[in-house]
Structure 1
């Protein structure tokens, strides 16, 4: 890991290097996805997934991940994208991909076939405290820049730390940006490529539960273990903590030292290949039930 720095009492250390490991047994509380029982796979009713560095690699959707996405949809499993990406991107994904919904901007606004669902405490990203925080962040880290999709965002404000900025921001630079937003009472969480910043208490988990309840009649008290979530980064922690069958692709390893909540299951493969691995194992168990 790289140098450490502190933000609002929390130590952050970020490193773009990946740790590779084999998964013969339970590691850090996470179990290899190939050990998922058939009964667990067959109980899944909804698949929720992050996009960046979960289905993509270097900003591009991996073909194996898109094939797996199509296979999940063809099997009858509803797939919902849950992403820190902009509302505008979510609308496009919903139209073009075989998914039934897109929860975007870390939970602020979700899209489905009949329209949108806005989190009750979502605050527009024109809020004065967010604007002040962004100005302070750019003063603290002059080479920082907004995420490329910021003009398509309504509630979330994102700063690029590893997508198009070269070299990526360092650990101390990321921590300084987080501190600037937290000083204004904002939330700031790193994804694998952006620092997502917003006002209010919305997050991926709260918005996902609300979406499933509104669209599918989901009951969190009884249906939580029927959700499969796939992610890779710190802003996925609320999902990892909430859903018993949350999974991660192998590149989650770069963030594990900073996670208080880890997923139950982990793939052996990285990025979109890891997503495809998880999907294939779940689908194989479900197909065997039909034989």
Structure 2
């Protein structure tokens, strides 16, 4: 790992979210609460859907996968962030940094793909209801969900493998509270041309292509909703569709901002806030927007609580 007589870096120093001692206690409590809410909300969703046969449909199957992704994402980032806020001068080993990078990149890519699959599922349900049971058969749903996890795992394996080939010989101060591809590339003392090429390819596929496919699905959904004659039906459909679109737009904009604009001045200044949106805020809001507002899920949750008590 060493190069040109430089000493190889064996650990990195994470800057943390805030260096202001007066704000660290507030931020620790804030992120701890977010972490608990994200874990509780997503675990409840997985439990309710798993224990209720009436929810074993394609839509809830994909929601279960989304909840699992959110659990992994928050658990990859927030515990280390909380440690950094509690302990001054938080460090992370080289191996720990690569591990965090792998799982974070895996979750981000998989969630982008899964949002596309979920948008397609809603498109078939709303625009092609007579073909829904045929087009969204159980084997196809399993194939789509499996492809989401596998394709993203292959992509993150390539990025992590290329990152592991780079030399880090100082400085070892990461200007972030997590290990992420753009910030680590800035610390490398090896050529990063191949890494940057792979990032562009991943950006085009995960960011641009999937975003266009997702927007195409929602475009067809909105067109179909406009044909609904009932004003109440339109209102309810738009309410659900708009909340889903809000999640999609927020998630895509933050991820694209981080990975398509790495190294820019504005990206470095605002990167921490943007990262919080897709590693903490989004996993916390997803259960509320996608599931807990749903009447069927509420009924399933009541059954779970009755069984527990």
Bigger relative contact order (CA 8 A; separation at least 6): 2
More helix by share: 2
TM normalised by structure 2 equals: 0.30
TM normalised by structure 1 equals: 0.32
More strand by share: 1
Higher Cα Rg, which structure: 2
